[in-house]
Chains A and B, each alone.
Chain A
């Protein structure tokens, strides 16, 4: 073998080593340093510890996207109802698979699982029942869940956009993630002091046709998983800050949407509150259209209580 061939072979090994090192760096970053994952990992671990100490036979577990994390004050719910309850909500980016894995891990036969999530999350998520989103894969990696090769690769590649934004925040001395340790409350509630005064939505609610079919498919899959474990599943629409002029119209559309779900889904109970997924009370919202303030979360939870109690009596 000539010396130049030998050098080329050595460099090929060097390229391979560089690739392996990149994967290792990506893994270390995703597992230990990615700010959003760190925040949620700490929240999930805290919840797991609380749930580990729980001795009640019956539990109410709330799960879903950030409308759940910022919307359900499980401490208040427990105080008022006398039932053990936990908020295991995450964020939309994590995707349905994380919510399902985490909530079903803690729910036992007879428990009540309340899924609170914006239905647009379910659209094109039907297949996501079997796989993790990028943020979901990062979360699963941090929680030491098993990942497929493609999911692992996705989780360990932060991307230019993410790293540059982080660098920019660091340079401007801004916090690396908008929520911090101080925003976590007992039993899983997240409360933010940030008040960005979001503009109420002026978009009409409409989920019909193939989109509605996808929502049903996702909920049906959830219902099936819960039924296999003997867990009762309910679905509740989150409350969205809505422009006053659209309030009635969107409420009607959402009621129709829920009616349609109720008609065709057998394994999932559909919950309704008087607000029917819309509110124009701006003072109850914090930094996004779906994130309540502490007061908003308490109010939402208290209004939900009689609805859930009625359902619980049926079990």
Chain B
């Protein structure tokens, strides 16, 4: 279920066309919800049989647990372990075996993580905990299935809460709401623009730059490229999901709220991958003691280390999580007497630096690059001049400058409407301009959504 591929949109349109035909003859609420579930499962099944199979396993465990009315901490714990079993197996088994046995067995080496596994596993764990903890009413099978499989968000979030999504899928009806469709389309266009034009072009251009690990300017440039790429890639996906759901009459959580306009890490995590941050806060941080715990700093580090592990099986992800955890523990920049604009620049530089832990999976190269960045003597004029030579051609330099300029302009436009995030970018006129640009500017190369691997 890849939103940037025409195949997805053709399948979706075909599915919606069939649903329209069916609903012309019969109309009752149960049918609408049944068809929504069928559409979601069909789109998931088109990915692969394994993807659908693993989803049905996790869903089966979840629904059975709810029907059997699990209530004790122990039984909930067992259910959560079962829900996470496929995730642990597909995502962490190769890494764990390499750490324990020193090599990845050939059987595990070829494992492909089923699409969306991390996201729907977390969402279903949340559903069980919320239902048990809040003594909520057992949702019907169809509502539970729609909650777990709702196609716009199943692959890469947002990770929705029971109280937000379940009532909406319960009341779901297919209807032709032109206003919702038009508003949703604006988010879809923004998402496609961010993914296909910004993230794809950055990926293509940055891949051509030869990075010398001893050159701090080039390592910095690499971090800058990745900062823009991951934001546009993931936020782009989330906005398409948001727009698709909106068009169907369901309001999802806005997973990104102009995160690069924050100026401390605490705020950053309130604006970046919002639903994941909330999940960790509500299901891990608070149950372990939260702000009232005397071990608060250690707890924060633990939660961020787990968050790092969620992103990927590798020590670099653990370090990335810990790095963010440490920076959250820092007092606000204002306490150091820094002006707001300088604090913002410093914060952005640290965010960009943190991405180095994220994309550099070879730990020896990672530490070499960190050494370069923190070595004041590596900032020489020779290295600065070498930046130009790292580009394969003058034209590649111009194109890279152009795409970085375009990304910066988009961030600047976000900054003009911070009170209502992305209001300017989802304006109708912006949408018109972006449609033209998407058609004319999309590169021929294609890279998977980064978060598909999580």
Contacts and interface: CB of A to CB of B under 8 A. Distances in A.
B440 interface: yes
- Report, nearest first, the 8 A-B pairs whose CB atoms are least far apart: A168-B398, A22-B439, A8-B182, A165-B395, A160-B441, A164-B402, A164-B399, A18-B435
A52 interface: no
Given A12-B185, A15-B432, A164 B440 contact: no
Interface stretch (B131-139, B197-205, B260-268): B197-205
B436 interface: yes
A168 B394 contact: yes
Given A11-B182, A12-B182, A163-B441, A18 B395 contact: no
Given A18-B432, A22-B439, A160 B182 contact: no
B385 interface: no
A159 B440 CA distance: 6
A12 B399 contact: no
B181 interface: yes
Nearest to B196: A160
Contact of B442 (A4, A11, A157): A157
Q: Which of B399, B436, B439 has the most CB of A within 10 A?
A: B439
B439 A157 contact: yes
A159 B402 CA distance: 13
A265 interface: no
A9 B183 CA distance: 11
A188 B181 CA distance: 54
A23 B442 CA distance: 13
Interface string B180-216: 0111010001000000010001001100000000000
A264 interface: no
A134 B436 CA distance: 19
Given A18-B435, A161-B201, A164-B398, A5 B441 contact: no
Contacts of B441: 157, 159-160, 163
Contact of A159 (B189, B428, B444): B444
18 contacts: A9-B182, A12-B182, A12-B185, A15-B189, A15-B435, A18-B436, A19-B435, A26-B440, A157-B439, A157-B440, A157-B442, A160-B197, A160-B399, A160-B403, A161-B201, A161-B204, A163-B440, A172-B394
A165 B432 contact: no
Contacts of A4: 179
A154 interface: yes
A169 B431 CA distance: 29
Contacts of B185: 12, 15
Given A8-B178, A15-B435, A167 B440 contact: no
A9 B440 contact: no
B243 to A, nearest CB: 13
A287 to B, nearest CB: 14
A14 interface: yes
Contacts of A143: none
B34 interface: no
Contact of B201 (A12, A21, A160, A165): A160
B77 interface: no
A186 interface: no
Contacts of A26: 439-440
A9 B439 CA distance: 22
Interface in B152-202: 178-179, 181-183, 185, 189, 197, 201
Contacts of A161: 201, 204-205, 399, 443
Nearest to B439: A22
Nearest to B438: A22
Decide if the interface of chain B is mainly helix, strand, loop or mixed.
Answer: helix
A4 B181 CA distance: 12
Contacts of A164: 395, 398-399, 402-403
Interface residues on B, range: 20 to 34
Contacts of A8: 178-179, 181-183
Interface of B: 178-179, 181-183, 185, 189, 197, 201, 204-205, 394-395, 398-399, 402-403, 428, 431-432, 435-436, 438-444
Contacts of B402: 160, 164, 167
Contact of A11 (B394, B428, B444): B428
A32 to B, nearest CB: 15
A154 B444 contact: yes
A22 B398 CA distance: 24
Interface string A137-173: 0000000000000000010011111011101110010
B394 A5 contact: no
B182 A21 contact: no
A218 to B, nearest CB: 21
A25 interface: yes
Nearest to A5: B178
Contacts of B394: 168, 172
A21 B436 contact: yes
Contact of B443 (A11, A23, A159, A172): A159
A9 B178 contact: yes
A18 B183 CA distance: 16
B450 to A, nearest CB: 19
B233 to A, nearest CB: 16
Contacts of A21: 436
A164 B403 CA distance: 9
Contacts of A5: 178-179
Contacts of A167: 398, 402
Interface in A19-33: 19, 21-23, 25-26
Contact of B439 (A12, A14, A23): A23
A21 B440 CA distance: 11
A12 B443 contact: no
A160 B402 CA distance: 9
A149 B383 CA distance: 48
B336 to A, nearest CB: 40
A263 B296 CA distance: 75
A310 to B, nearest CB: 43
A157 B442 CA distance: 7
A139 to B, nearest CB: 15
Contacts of A165: 395, 398-399
